[in-house]
Amino acid sequence: MVTEMMEFGPDPSDCFRYCLEKSALPQLTVRFEGNAIRIQVPQALAEEWTGSNRVGFGEKVDTGKGRTIDVLVEKDFRCLDGSDDNDTDSYPNPNEKHPEKC
């Protein structure tokens, strides 16, 4: 499970959270509760995505109200500008140059 938070003000109610989690459910699901979006990813898809070079995946998700939303999930890659800001949990950047191995 990965959870992030964005603060829009000083109060706890001014926070927006989003969570990406592995799920036993057979399809991608999205829930919105209490200033938080929870995206539940089927276990097989989550494991294939995180263990491969696949950058992301997307799907139309039924909201249960006769409507669908488009969901796109992508890996967060390390920055190439030399800064280490917020790169602690990032994937290696595929555009990063590596010294040639002898």
Which candidate, 45, 1, 3, 54, places its Cα nearest to that of 27? Answer: 45
- Which residue intervals of 1-102 are DSSP H helices? 43-50
Query: 62 with 68: CB under 8 angstroms?
Result: yes
Instruction: Encode pLDDT of 38-64 as tens digits.
Output: 999 999 999 998 888 888 899 999 988
88 or 8, greater pLDDT: 8
pTM greater than the 0.75 cutoff: no
Structure confidence at residue 91 as a pLDDT band (50, 70, 90): low
C-alpha–C-alpha distance, residues 74 and 49, integer Å: 9
Q: What is the pLDDT of residue 7?
A: 92
Give yes or no for residue 95 having a pLDDT over 90: no
Is the pLDDT assigned to residue 101 strictly greater than 50? Answer: no
H/E segment holding residue 41: strand 36-42
